[in-house]
C-alpha cells in the first residue's frame, strides 16, 4: 500500500506534526489503497515560508533556466508513465487509456511552458508606442509571487500541470495542495522535484483536506496568488479568502455544458461526439457536455445510435484494457449521483437507458450509464452539475431555440456543436456563452489554447499565454530619454 505520511517542504520530505491520516480508497475493489498525512496549519506555515525564501532566487533566474527545469520535470514524468498509469487507474477508477491521457497531456503542458519560460526574457521591456516623445514606456512581466495551487481529483496530473507549469515558468514559487480524494499520482510531482534537484522551496506539496490544508492555505497572508480548480461552493470560499488582503485569484469551477446536434448532422458521427463528451471518465469531467439539444428531425435516429453505444460500454476493472467505464471515484460521488437519479424518478423522467438496462459489476462504485429524453428545462437534472454518466436530452425546433436553451444556464465552461455544414455550425458556436466551444471535434484542450469558463464556471484562463499571464503582474516603466 503506497504511503505518503510526509509533506514535501523546502526540497525534502518531512514528517508532518499532524497525527491524523487520510485513507485513500481504490474505488473498484472498495478497499484502502494508501494513506496520506492529513496536514494542518503548521504544515501550511512551513510550506509558505519555504516558498517565500525560495522566491527571490527563482524569480531572478533567467527564463532559460526555468525552462530547462520544466523540461527535466517533463522528461522525468514521461519516464514514469508505465508506473503512473496503473496508479491513476486504481486511485481514480479511470480506464487505463484515460490514465494515459492524464499523463501525456500533463507532459505536453510542462513542455509547452518550458518554451514559454525560455521566450520570456526576450519579450521583457517591450516598448509601448506613445504620442509623447518626452518619455519612453516599456512593459515588463513580473511573477505575482508565492502561489497556492488547489486542485480536484478528476484529472490529477493534468489539472496540477495546468497550474504548476505556468506558475514555475513565470517565476512564482508554489505551495500545491492536491485533492484528498485521489492524491497518490500527484506525489510523483514532488518525487520528481526531489529527483531532478529543483531548487529547494520552489515547489512544495502539502497533503490534506479542505479543513486541514485548503482553508488555512487560501487564507494564509504569505500567499500572493490563489489558483483553484474544483466545485463552486469551494471556489466561492477561496474567492472570499482572496478578498482578505486583496489577492490575485483564478477559479476553474463547475459546468453544465450543452452539446447541440443540428439537423444536417450525421446521427452516427454525432452519437460518437455525444458519447465522448459525456461518458469519458464516467462523466466526471468539468466540461462534460451533459445537456444534449438535438434538432427534432434527427432526434430518433440519434437516440437509437446513442442507446446502441451506451449498451456497448464495458463497465469493469479500470486496469482491464477492455474496460471503457470505470467506477465513480468514491462512495460519496456515487451517492451524490444516485440522489439525482432519485430526483429523476420523482420527476417522472423518461430513461432510455439506466440501471434497469444492465447488470453492474459485483463491486466498485458504479453508476449505470444513463440517458434521459424530453428533460424539462426546470428539472434539477437539466440545471445542476451531476458529475456522473448521466446524459439529459431534449429536442429543439431550430438553431435559435438550441442556442437560447444552451445559454439558459448559470454555467458557461464549454459547449459542442455537431453539424454537417461547418460554416453554419461555426455560426451557432459563436453565439454560445462558453469559454471553450468545440465544433465537430471531441473535447480536446491543447496547451497552446485557452481554457476557462464564463458565468459561474470561473474567472480567468489557464493554458496558452493567458495561463502564463495568470501568474504575472504587468509592470509599466516610464522614463525620460
Give me the residues that bind ligand NAD (CB under 6 A), please. 150-154, 159, 177, 179-181, 209-210, 214-215, 218, 229-231, 234, 237-238, 252-255, 286, 385, 387, 413, 453, 458
Report the nearest approach of ligand NAD to the CB of residue 27 (Å).
13
Instruction: Considering the candidates 98, 180, 186, 252, report the single residue annotated as catalytic.
Output: 252
For residues 237 and 313, which CB has a smaller minimum distance to ligand NAD in the complex?
237
Report the nearest approach of ligand NAD to the CB of residue 436 (Å).
9
The answer to whether the beta carbons of residues 254 and 233 sit under 8 Å apart is no
For residues 67 and 458, which CB has a smaller minimum distance to ligand NAD in the complex?
458
Report the nearest approach of ligand NAD to the CB of residue 287 (Å).
7
The answer to whether the beta carbons of residues 333 and 284 sit under 8 Å apart is yes
| Sequence-ordered strand ranges (E) for 78-168 | 126-128, 135-143, 146-150
Cell numbers describing residue 290: 451533459
- Cell 435516429 found at: 301
Cell numbers describing residue 258: 450543452
- Cell 472498495 found at: 30
* Residue 145 backbone dihedrals phi, psi, to 5 degrees: 140, -130
Q: Which residue is nearest to ligand NAD (CB)?
A: 214
For residues 46 and 182, which CB has a smaller minimum distance to ligand NAD in the complex?
182
15: closest CA among 223, 210, 206?
206
252 is catalytic: yes
| CA separation for the pair 207, 36 (Å, rounded) | 7
Report the nearest approach of ligand NAD to the CB of residue 458 (Å).
5
| CA separation for the pair 190, 209 (Å, rounded) | 18
Instruction: Considering the candidates 109, 172, 286, 392, report the single residue annotated as catalytic.
Output: 286
Report the nearest approach of ligand NAD to the CB of residue 207 (Å).
10
109 is catalytic: no
Q: Measured on CA atoms in the order 187, 191, 194, 197, is the torsion positive or negative? A: negative
For residues 152 and 318, which CB has a smaller minimum distance to ligand NAD in the complex?
152
For residues 71 and 180, which CB has a smaller minimum distance to ligand NAD in the complex?
180
Strand partners, 22: 36
Report the nearest approach of ligand NAD to the CB of residue 232 (Å).
7
Task: Please return the burial class of 197, using the count of CB atoms within 10 Å of its CB with bins 0-12, 13-18 and 19+.
Answer: exposed
Report the nearest approach of ligand NAD to the CB of residue 367 (Å).
15
For residues 214 and 326, which CB has a smaller minimum distance to ligand NAD in the complex?
214
For residues 220 and 273, which CB has a smaller minimum distance to ligand NAD in the complex?
220
| CA separation for the pair 282, 361 (Å, rounded) | 14
Using CA atoms, how far residue 172 sits from 58, 86, 191, 451, in Å, is 7, 32, 20, 20
The answer to whether the beta carbons of residues 44 and 206 sit under 8 Å apart is yes
Q: Which residues are catalytic?
A: 252, 286
Amino acid at each position: 500500500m503506497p504511503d505518503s505520511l510526509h509533506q514535501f517542504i523546502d526540497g525534502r520530505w518531512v514528517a508532518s506534526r499532524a497525527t491524523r491520516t487520510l485513507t485513500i480508497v481504490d474505488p473498484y475493489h472498495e478497499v484502502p489503497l494508501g494513506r496520506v498525512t492529513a496536514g494542518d496549519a503548521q504544515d501550511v506555515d512551513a510550506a509558505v515560508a519555504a516558498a517565500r525564501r525560495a522566491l527571490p532566487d527563482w524569480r531572478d533566474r533567467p527564463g532559460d533556466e526555468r525552462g530547462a527545469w520544466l523540461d527535466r520535470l517533463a522528461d522525468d514524468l514521461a519516464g514514469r508513465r508505465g508506473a503512473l498509469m496503473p496508479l491513476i487507474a486504481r486511485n481514480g477508477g479511470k480506464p487505463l487509456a484515460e490514465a494515459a491521457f492524464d499523463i501525456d497531456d500533463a507532459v505536453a503542458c510542462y513542455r509547452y511552458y518550458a518554451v514559454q519560460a525560455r521566450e520570456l526574457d526576450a519579450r521583457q521591456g517591450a516598448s509601448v508606442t506613445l504620442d509623447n516623445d518626452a518619455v519612453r514606456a516599456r512593459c515588463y512581466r513580473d511573477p505575482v509571487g508565492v502561489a497556492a495551487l488547489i486542485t480536484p481529483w478528476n484529472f490529477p496530473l493534468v489539472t496540477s500541470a495546468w497550474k504548476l507549469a505556468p506558475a514555475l515558468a513565470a517565476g512564482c514559487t508554489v505551495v500545491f495542495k492536491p485533492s484528498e480524494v485521489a492524491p497518490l499520482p500527484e506525489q510523483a510531482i514532488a518525487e520528481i522535484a526531489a529527483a531532478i534537484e529543483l531548487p529547494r522551496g520552489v515547489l512544495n506539496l502539502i497533503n490534506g483536506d479542505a479543513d486541514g490544508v485548503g482553508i488555512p492555505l487560501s487564507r494564509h497572508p504569505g500567499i500572493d496568488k490563489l489558483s483553484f480548480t474544483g466545485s463552486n461552493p469551494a471556489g466561492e470560499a477561496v474567492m472570499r479568502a482572496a478578498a482578505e488582503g486583496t489577492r490575485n485569484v483564478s477559479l476553474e469551477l463547475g459546468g453544465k455544458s450543452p452539446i447541440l446536434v443540428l439537423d444536417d448532422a450525421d446521427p452516427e458521427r454525432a452519437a460518437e461526439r455525444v458519447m465522448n463528451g459525456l461518458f469519458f471518465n464516467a462523466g466526471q469531467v468539468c466540461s462534460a457536455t451533459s445537456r444534449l439539444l438535438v434538432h427534432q428531425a434527427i432526434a430518433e435516429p440519434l437516440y437509437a445510435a446513442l442507446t446502441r453505444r451506451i449498451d456497448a460500454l464495458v463497465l469493469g476493472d479500470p486496469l482491464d484494457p477492455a474496460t471503457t467505464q470505470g467506477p465513480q471515484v468514491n462512495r460519496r460521488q456515487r451517492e451524490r449521483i444516485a440522489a439525482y437519479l432519485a430526483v429523476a424518478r420523482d420527476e417522472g423522467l423518461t430513461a432510455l437507458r439506466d440501471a434497469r438496462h444492465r447488470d453492474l459489476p459485483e463491486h466498485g462504485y458504479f453508476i449505470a450509464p444513463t440517458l434521459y429524453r424530453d428533460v424539462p428545462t426546470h428539472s434539477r437534472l437539466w440545471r445542476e452539475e451531476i458529475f456522473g454518466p448521466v446524459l439529459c436530452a431534449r429536442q429543439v425546433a431550430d438553431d435559435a431555440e438550441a442556442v437560447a436553451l444552451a445559454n439558459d444556464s448559470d454555467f458557461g465552461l464549454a459547449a459542442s456543436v455537431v453539424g454537417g455544414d461547418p460554416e453554419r455550425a461555426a455560426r451557432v458556436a459563436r453565439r454560445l456563452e462558453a469559454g471553450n466551444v468545440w465544433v465537430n471535434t471531441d473535447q480536446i484542450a491543447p496547451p497552446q489554447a485557452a481554457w476557462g469558463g464564463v458565468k459561474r464556471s470561473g474567472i480567468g484562463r489557464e493554458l496558452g499565454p493567458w495561463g502564463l499571464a495568470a501568474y504575472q503582474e504587468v509592470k509599466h516603466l516610464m522614463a525620460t530619454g
